[in-house]
Structure 1
Amino acid sequence: MPSLTSLTFLSLQRVGINAETVTNVSSTDFPGHWPGEDHSWDLEHFKQHVQVQFHTNHELDSSFSLTRIDTSLANAFRRILLAEIPTLAIESVFIFQNTSVIQDEVLAHRLGLIPLCGDRSAISWLKWHRGPAHDDPDAKQDELTDYNSCVLELEVACEWADGGLAKAAQGETNPDVLYKNHSVYARDLIWKPVGRQHDKFDKAQPLKAANPDILIAKMRPGQSIRLVVHAFKGIGMDHAKFSPVATASYRLLPTIDIVRPIVGAEAKKFARCFPKGVIALEKVTRDDARKNKELEGKEGEVKAVVKDPMRDTVSRECLRHPEFKDKVKLGRVRDHFIFRVESTGQWASDELFLESVRLLRVKCERVKRGLEALTR
């Protein structure tokens, strides 16, 4: 039989969700907490128990469960996803002509936030471009080459459609009828490969905006924009535009334990307290009545059962109704993390997680080498 401390330890693997409070939020699985038990981290135990299960896996959006790991490790993956995976983004903007109503600095900022995409292997081939150190303003910037920067051009001029208003119907206000090139979109950024980029980039996957329909500016006849931008590699730690994800978050798996039967009209009300698909209604059978005395004489009525707790948002709505006070317990599994990763387009969403694992391993190897150097 398991010891009393083992049973207590297992019960504390769930975070309790009460009407006004949250319990068991502190970790108790560290060495020395439970007398006679050692919960120190073990590599072999980690290899045997850690699991990754994908729920959805699309190019730009994926969801997966990461189980049997500590919160610190899950949060390390999240922070690496946000801030340490390198991407290519617009860094320098050279404006030769801008007669639109948007100021130069605002226009440059909008261009910098446009996510880029293209041949992944070629983008990985590009090297880092190191600018001058912040504490040395006199230091010269690294030379721009075909392997550390990419050039894109934007040249758009707004004109009257079909020679002017004379051919437009009287009272026409639709800009698509009146003007040409009145809206400047991200697809108007044209990549100009130089040097070895002609060979490294697949012609079927040129460097371009990940979303071609991002609106940059609106213009009217006589206004134009002509500029050149340089894209460099960077990380989200330096600027948010280099972050490869639109969002990278996790939540703990919700648990819903129905400790006493909820039947009839109460079952329907209970189901409405949760998002659609979390609670299902099933008919009470003779076997159910035989196993639970509270269901005797209620055969044929509907009862509430938990169908998919992963869809629950833990709103605690059911705890606000007194009839459910002693019939349900809410919680979250402490070591079951449901990740949601949305890529901005330069990386596939599942590749991002694998890259975060690789980078964490590199960081661990760096720390290991440092510790070995200290102990020599």
Structure 2
Amino acid sequence: MAASMENVEEIRNRIILGEFDIKNVHTTDYPGNYPGYDDTWDLEKFKKSFRIDIVQLDENSMEFDMVGIDASIANAFRRILLAEVPTMAIEKVFIYNNTSIVQDEVLAHRLGLIPIKADPRLFEYRNTVTGEAPAAEEEEGSEIDTIQLQLKIKCSRNPRASKDSADPRELYLNHMVYSRDIKWVPIGNQADVFAELAIGPVHDDILIAQLRPGQELDIVMYCVKGVGKDHAKFSPVATASYRLLPEIVLLEPVEGEKAERLKRCFSRGVIDLEDVKGTKAAKVVNSRLDTCSREVLRHDDLKNVVKLGRVRDHFIFTVESTGILPPDVLVTEAIKLLMAKCQRFINELGNPHS
């Protein structure tokens, strides 16, 4: 017997969290998955239901809702943010002098992972540069595809230090090497083109090495444009993740001591108590804060009065930038990349002989 239209609609739109299982787990909107229901994909319906709501935005992180899309599209945005939005990162490290206790290979690896504040949209990929160039220029790059940085520092004793002091911060000068000690060395006309941009490490307090008197570092670094799928150092985000919007429905009134226990079963702010004729009654305030722990299902007298679920096409995205580009710019760039992929696919379909 075919399910009613309301039941099929619920199956399509909700994932139900049971005590020992998860029901209605569907990851696709592909037509034909729901018998007795007309699920033909419709462009006008998609336009009407799709939306993006920005919940929180600052210079380092962003939280937004993407509603009305398939899980595959949501995951495509996540993967593009992690692996395909380009950045500038240290690729080549020339160590002319390193008398610290840190090995050259370890030091080069640490330097490569330092986020570099430089807009990658203003630079070209190294492999896209055309024309013949001298060997030295090809090695060091040019002003349109390379950023040169230098780290030159030497530790010495502090002549003004107290004789009784045992604190290295007072005894030595330049004994802590931080990312702020890395200096930008303009190539070609970069000093004029990027005069208003403070090219260099995003954070100035990243510890690189510790030195003692007589030890020094003399290093030249070259940054190039790359993507996270080639190396994690090019990834523009510290994290990019999504989760489905939780949904909590009270099937019947919950009052008194049961209401207080119900409140404790969820994260703070999900359930609140309101006064109804002198009795405390439970009310769902903000299901978005729920972590879907299913703690309430351990209580025999509560598990049948609550329905736990998640909205299948409502994705809560969290994007945390490394500081190279603002998170809203990263999301915009990810959308542009996905559009370009779709256009390439359409072009391939229209050109069967390619």
Give the shorter-chain TM-score range.
over 0.9
Q: Aligned ranges for residues 139-218 of structure 1 at < 5 Å?
A: 144-162=141-159, 167-170=161-164, 172-203=165-196, 205-218=197-210
- Paired letter, 2:159: D
Q: Secondary structure at the match of 1:11?
A: helix
SS across alignment from 2:186: coil
Match of 1:70 in 2: 70
- Shift of the 307–375 alpha-carbon distance from structure 1 to 2, 3 Å rule, reads farther
Q: 1:127–1:278: structure 2 CA closer, same or farther, 3 Å change rule? A: same
Does residue 1:353 correspond to 2:331, yes or no? yes
Check 1:76–1:67 CA distance in 2 against 1; reply closer, same or farther (3 A cut): same
Per-residue deviation, 1:100: 0.8
Match of 1:265 in 2: 257
Match of 2:268 in 1: 276
CA contact (8 A) 1:86 1:242 kept: yes
1:1-376 correspondence runs (5 A): 5-12=4-11, 13-27=13-27, 29-35=29-35, 37-118=37-118, 120=119, 123-130=120-127, 144-162=141-159, 167-170=161-164, 172-203=165-196, 205-284=197-276, 299-374=277-352
Which amino acid in the other structure matches residue 130 of structure 1? N
Q: 1:28: Cα distance to partner? A: 6.7
1:279-304 per-position Cα deviation (integer Å, ceiling 9, x unaligned): 111011xxxxxxxxxxxxxx211111
Q: CA RMSD in A?
A: 2.0
Tell me the SS of whatever aligns to 2:343: helix
Instruction: State the alpha-carbon separation in 2 of the partners of residues 16 and 4 from structure 1.
Output: 17
Identity %: 45
Is this contact kept in 2: 1:9–1:28, CA < 8 A?
A: no
Task: Please give the TM-score of this superposition, normalised by the length of structure 2.
Answer: 0.92
Is contact 1:14-1:332 (8 Å) kept? yes
Q: What CA distance in whole angstroms lies between the structure 1 residues aligned with 2:312 and 2:7?
A: 14
* Residue identity opposite 2:179 in structure 1: A
Using the alignment, how far apart are the partners of 1:74 and 1:333 within structure 2? 14
Residues 10-31 of structure 1 deviation map (CA, whole Å, 9 limit, x = unaligned): 2111111122211111247432
**CA distance in 2 between partners of 1:81 and 1:18 (Å):** 33
Letter aligned with residue 114 of structure 2:
I
Contact 2:140–2:222, Cα closer than 8 Å, also in 1: no
Q: Deviations over 1:20-52 (max 9, x none)?
A: 211111247432344564323333322221010
1:289 aligned residue? none
Asked if structure 1 preserves the Cα contact closer than 8 Å seen for 2:150 and 2:184, the reply is yes
Unaligned 5+ residue runs, structure 1?
A: 132-139, 285-298
CA drift at 1:335: 0.3
State how far apart, in whole Å, the 1-side matches of 2:216 and 2:29 are.
64
Q: Which moved further from structure 2: 12-21 or 357-366? A: 12-21
**Structure 2: gaps of 5 or more residues:** 129-136
**Equivalent residue letter for 1:57:** L
- Contact 1:5-1:34 within 8 A present in 2 as well: no
Q: CA deviation at 1:375?
A: 7.3
Secondary structure (helix, strand or coil) at the match of 1:334 reads strand
Report the Cα offset of residue 169 of structure 1: 4.4
Could you tell me which residue of structure 1 aligns to residue 134 of structure 2?
Answer: none
Q: Secondary structure at the match of 2:126?
A: coil
Q: SS at the partner of 1:162?
A: coil
Normalised to the residue count of structure 1, the TM-score between the two structures is 0.87
Deviation at 1:4, TM superposition (A): 5.3
| C-alpha contact 1:77 1:360 (8 A) present in aligned 2 | yes
Tell me the SS of whatever aligns to 1:280.
strand
Distance in 2 (alpha carbons) for counterparts of 1:186 and 1:358: 32
- Using the alignment, how far apart are the partners of 1:322 and 1:36 within structure 2? 36
Q: How far did residue 145 of structure 1 move?
A: 0.9
Q: Figure out how many residues of one structure are paired with residues of the other and give that number.
A: 344
Please say if residues 19 and 297 of structure 2, whose CA atoms lie closer than 8 Å, have aligned partners that are also in contact: yes
What residue in structure 1 maps to residue 132 of structure 2? none
Q: 1:128 to 1:142 in 2, by over 3 A?
A: farther
State the distance in 1 between where 2:140 and 2:28 align. Answer: 54
